[in-house]
Structure 1
Amino acid sequence: MLDLNLIRENPEKVKAALLKRMDEVDFTEILELDKERRELLVKVETLQSKRNTLSKEIAQLKRQGKDVEDNFQEMKELATTIKELDNKLTAIEEKIKTSIEKLPNMPDEDILPGGKENNKGVREWGKKPEFNFKPKDHMDLVKLNDLIDYERGVKLGGNGFWIYKGNGAILEWALLNYFIEEHIKDGYQFILPPHILNYQCGLTAGQFPKFADEVYIVKGEEDNYSFMLPTSETALINLHRDEILKEEDLPRKYFSYTPCYRVEAGSHRASERGMIRGHQFNKVEMFQYTKPEDSNAALEELIGKAERLVQGLGLHYRVTKLAAKDASASMAKTYDIEIWIPSMNDYKEVSSASNARDYQARRGMIRFKREGSKKTEYVNTLNASGLATSRLFPAIMEQYQQEDGSIIVPEVLRKWVGRDRL
C-alpha cells in the first residue's frame, strides 16, 4: 500500500511513477477525502478539548454546590456531536484506505515503463543445446519414458492438470529435495504453511482486491472468504502480519514448499501445452524481511540463489529485468530467471525475484523498531521462486535428451533419482 503522506506531499512524483504501469492516475478523490478527514480531525480535537474543559468546570461547580444541569446538557450535546463526527471520520478513512489499496506499487526509478516489449535482458548463462539428431519436444519425451500421464490428469482434474508417475514423480521430488537442501545450507528457515488462506492474506500480499478472481475460492462471502494459495509468497508475507519485530531479528529468511493453485492457466497456444502452464504446479519459494537499507542487497542475494540452482542443473537460461507493466503490481522491481525450452525456441520463467519495498508491509502492518528508538518503521519484503518445477521439468527433458529418446539426469539430482538416465 502506498504512503498517503507521500501522495499528499508529492502527488506528481507518485503519479509519474504509477503511469509507468497504469494508463491513467487520478488522486483527486483521495486528496479531497484526505482534506476533509484532516478538517474533521481538527473539529473533533477542538470539541474534545472543550469537553475536557467543561468537565473540569462541572467538577468545580459541584464542589461549590452550584446547579450543573445546564452544563450536563451541554456535555451531552458535545458527546453526541463528537460521536457523529467520529463516525463520519471512520467512514472517510475507510474510503481512503479502500482507494489506496487498489493502487499498485511505485516502480523503482530505473524500471522502464510499459510491458514485455520493454523488458531488458541482463545476462545469459551456458549455451543453447545443439543436437546432431532431430530433437523431440517434452510432450513426446515424457510419453516415451512414461513419466507424465496427461490424459488421466485431465480425467481427474480437467484441462491444466497432469499426473507425475514412476520415474517422473521421482524426478519431480528430486528437484524439490535439491532446492530444499540448498536453502537449508544457506540458513533459510523451512516453512510448510497452510494451503488454504484467509482474505487478509491476499490483501496483505497485494493480490486482493484487484486480482481476487485469479484464485480458487473455498468458502465465504465477498471480502471474507478462504482461498487456495496461488503461491506460498501469499502465506510467507503474512507470517509477521500485525507484528513489530526487533532490529536484531532482521533479516528474516524463509523458504517453503507448496503446490500453487491458479484459476487462470494462461495461454492455450499449442506451443504451451503440457506442463508449461497449469492450474496446479509445485514450487519452492524464498522470502525475506529486511530493513529498508538492506533490501537491495537482499534482492541480489535472491537472484543469485535462484541462478545457482539453475546452474547446478546445468541448464541454459537468461536473466531479464521486467518493465513496469510486466511485473506484479505489488513489486517495485522484478528480475525473471528464464529457462530455455528448445521446442518452443523461447525462454520461460522459472523464478521471479522481486522487491516490494514497504508496499506489502504497509498493507500488513509489519514493522520493526531500531535499537534505542521508540519509533517503528515498516520492513521491506522480498520474494523469489527457488524454484518452480513445471518448466524446469520440460527443460530437463529437452536440453538433456539423447538420440534414443532417453534423458540424462542432471548430476545434482542423481542421489535422489538413483540413476543417471531415464
Structure 2
Amino acid sequence: MLDIKFIRENPQIVCQALEDRGLDFDLDGFLKLDEKRRSFIKEIDSLRTELNKINDEISSLLKEKKDPKPKIEQTREISKKLDGLEEEFKKVKEQFTQQLLNIPNIPHPSIPKGSPANNKVVRTWGEPKTFSFKPLTHIELAENLGIIDFKRASKITGSNFILFKGQGALLERAL
C-alpha cells in the first residue's frame, strides 16, 4: 500500500503507474476525498479543543460558585455537532481506506506496461519435464484436495486472493 503523503506529493507518478498497469482509477476524486477527510479531522479536533476549553471554564465557574448553565448548554450543542461530524467522518474514512487499498504499488521501470499477458520470461532454469499425461496445475490440485476456495475468496475480497480451508489452513499456519 502506498503512503498517502507520497500520493499527495507525487500524483503524476501514481497516475502514470495506474495507466501502466491498465487500471481505471479516479485519482483526482481520491485526492478530493483525502482533502475532505483531512478537513473533517481539523474540524473535529477544533471542536474537541473548544469543548475541553469550555469544560475548564465550567470547572472554574463551579469553583467560584457561579452559574455554569449557559456553558453546559454550549457543551451540549458542541457535543451534538461533534457526534454528527464523527458519523460523517466515519463514512468518509471508510471510503478513503477502501480506495487507498485499491491503489497498487509503483512498478519498477523495467516491468512491461499493460496486463500480465505482456510479461516477458527473463530466464528459465533446467529443462521442463514432460509427462505422459496432462498434469494438473497447483490450483486444480488444491481445489481437488479441498484445501483452498477461490470462488468464496473472490466474493469476499476480489480477484487474486484465496481462502485456505481445512487441511490447507492448517498447512498455511504450520508454514
- The TM tier, using the shorter chain, reads 0.7 to 0.9
**Kindly tell me: are residues 60 and 115 of structure 1, through their superposed partners in 2, closer, same or farther at Cα, counting changes over 3 Å?**
closer
User: How much has 1:65 moved relative to structure 2?
Assistant: 1.0
Q: Name the residue aligned to 1:8.
A: 8
Q: Deviations over 1:213-259 (max 9, x none)?
A: x75xxxxxxxxxxx445xx79x96xx7xxxxxxxxxxxxxxx83xxx
C-alpha displacement of 1:127 = 5.3
Report the counterpart of residue 350 of structure 1 in structure 2: none
- The TM-score, its normalising length taken from structure 1, stands at 0.33
Instruction: Provide the residue aligned with 1:64 in structure 2.
Output: 64
Residue type at the aligned position of 1:59: S
Please give the secondary structure, in 2, of the residue aligned with 1:104.
coil
User: 2 CA distance for matches of 1:92 and 1:116?
Assistant: 33
Amino acid at match of 1:138: S
Kindly report the root-mean-square deviation, in angstroms, between the aligned alpha carbons of the 2 structures. Answer: 3.6
- Distance change in 2, residues 1:121/1:228 (3 Å): closer
| TM-score, scaled relative to structure 2 | 0.73
CA distance in 2: counterparts of 1:18 and 1:103, whole angstroms:
8
Q: C-alpha distance in 2, partners of 1:108/1:24?
A: 19
Which of structures 1 and 2 has the larger relative contact order (alpha carbons within 8 angstroms, sep 6+)? Answer: 2
Amino acid at match of 2:121: G
The 8 Å contact of residues 102 and 209 in structure 1, kept in 2 or not, is answered as: no
The separation in 1 between residues aligned to 2:88 and 2:30, in whole angstroms, is: 16
Shift of 1:137: 5.1
In the alignment, which residue of structure 1 is the partner of 2:133?
139
* Counterpart in the other structure of 2:44: 44
In the other structure, the counterpart of 1:111 is: 111
**Long gaps (5+) in structure 2:** 142-146
- How many residue pairs match? The answer is 161
Tell me by how many angstroms 1:24 deviates.
Answer: 3.1
Report if aligned partners of 1:196, 1:228 keep a CA contact under 8 Å in 2.
Answer: yes
Conserved 8 A contact 2:22-2:115: no
CA displacement at 1:42 relative to structure 2 = 1.2
Q: Give the superposition deviation at 1:73.
A: 0.4
Question: Could you tell me which residue of structure 1 aligns to residue 35 of structure 2?
Answer: 35
Contact kept, 8 Å, 1:18 with 1:105, in 2: the verdict is no
- From the two aligned structures, give the one with the greater helix fraction: 2
C-alpha distance 80-32 of structure 1, shift in aligned 2 (>3 A): same
Deviation of 1:113 (Å): 0.9
Compared CA separation, residues 128 and 211, structure 1 to 2 (3 A): closer
- The equivalent residue for 1:24 is 24
Task: Please state whether the residue corresponding to 1:138 is helix, strand or coil.
Answer: coil
Aligned mate of 1:209, from 157, 160, 163: 157
Higher strand share: 1
- Aligned ranges for residues 213-362 of structure 1 at < 5 Å? 227-228=163-164, 256=175
Is the CA contact 2:37–2:93 (under 8 Å) kept in the aligned structure 1? yes
